[in-house]
């Protein structure tokens, strides 16, 4: 079943919108896997070893191929088949567990969201986006949030 573009079930407990997530569509993981399969071929190994010697100005970065492979291997894990409220994202998401434990729909139903340490867990990626969304939801409801700007 394909959900409408803006559907309230895609509003995660933390206030982020799953429909806007770059991991959610699976493209990053798929492309990383495709590129890894090419980079693991013997022909690419020859290129990555030889081209920096022939044309160092253009291909010196190929000396970092092993590091690139490690980055791509990490990126293969950037896939999320389910939306948050159906168990998508991290299985041990402390934000989801907190909301479920409090029997609330999301952090917007909690008066502690502004200073919540649990909610701060995603700050390294999302900065203050989730809190901005929560403020919008508290002010305009989920329906109002879905019609407007969704910070990511």
With a cut of 70, say whether residue 1 has pLDDT above it.
no
pTM to 2 decimal places: 0.80
- DSSP secondary structure of 63-93: GGHHHHHHHHHHHTT----S-GGGT-S-TT-
Residue 96 Rama label (left phi>0; alpha psi -120 to 50; beta): alpha
For residue 5, what pLDDT is reported? 58
Could you state, in order of their start, the residue ranges of all structural domains in the chain?
A: 8-21+83-147, 27-75
Residue 74 tokens, joined: 């990490």
pLDDT in tens, 47-102: 999 999 999 999 999 999 999 999 999 999 998 878 888 888 777 899 999 999 99
With a cut of 50, say whether residue 31 has pLDDT above it.
yes
Euclidean distance between CA atoms 22 and 28, whole angstroms: 8
Residue 10 tokens, joined: 């895609």
pLDDT in tens, 109-145: 999 999 999 999 999 999 999 999 999 999 999 999 9
- In the predicted model, what is the mean pLDDT of residues 143-152? 94
Euclidean distance between CA atoms 11 and 58, whole angstroms: 45
- In the predicted model, what is the mean pLDDT of residues 40-53? 97
Give the model's confidence band at 6: pLDDT under 50 very low, under 70 low, under 90 confident, else very high.
Answer: low
Euclidean distance between CA atoms 60 and 48, whole angstroms: 9
């Amino acid at each position: 079943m394909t959900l409408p573009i803006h559907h309230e079930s895609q509003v995660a407990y933390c206030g982020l919108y799953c429909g806007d997530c770059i991991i959610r569509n699976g493209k990053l993981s798929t492309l990383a896997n495709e590129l890894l399969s090419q980079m693991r071929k013997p022909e690419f190994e020859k290129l990555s070893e030889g081209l920096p010697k022939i044309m160092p100005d253009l291909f010196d970065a190929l000396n970092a191929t092993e590091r690139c492979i490690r980055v791509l291997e990490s990126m293969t894990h950037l896939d999320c088949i389910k939306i948050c409220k159906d168990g998508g994202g991290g299985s041990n998401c402390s934000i989801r567990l907190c909301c479920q434990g409090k029997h609330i729909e999301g952090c917007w139903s909690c008066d502690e969201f502004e200073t919540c340490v649990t909610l701060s867990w995603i700050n390294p990626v999302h900065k203050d986006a989730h809190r901005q969304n929560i403020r919008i939801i508290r002010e305009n409801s989920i329906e109002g949030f879905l019609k407007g700007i969704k910070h990511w």
